[in-house]
Amino acid sequence: MGELLKLVIPLAPDIAPLADQVLGMAPYAVQIRYNDEFDPDLMEAGRALSLAIQVYQTSAAAIGINDMEWER
């Protein structure tokens, strides 16, 4: 995720303040699939989802995609 951030931040600088939080989401990409002990509670999962939505919206806006275009 760190390498992706390095590529995205020049195009979407508004993501830079979220970088530490985004890196903290790495367990959701790997551990949740392979580690039976990784079991986030509903509040933690909600925070991760909220951050993912914020990153998506910031990235989409930076490259000119609006929600209407994404749904097509």
Whole-number pLDDT of residue 64: 80
From 55, 60, 67, select the one nearest 15 (Cα to Cα): 55
On whether the pTM is more than 0.75, the answer is no
Whole-number pLDDT of residue 61: 82
Name, in order, each residue with C-beta under 8 angstroms of 66's C-beta and a sequence gap of 6 or more.
Answer: 60
Could you list the mean pLDDT of each consecutive 10-residue stretch along the chain, which spans 72 residues?
81 84 77 70 87 83 69 52
- One-character DSSP codes across 18-61: GHHHHHTTHHHHTHHHH-TT----HHHHHHHHHHHHHHHHHHHH
Whole-number pLDDT of residue 28: 72
Half-sphere exposure of 61 (CA within 13 A, CB side): 11
Whole-number pLDDT of residue 22: 83
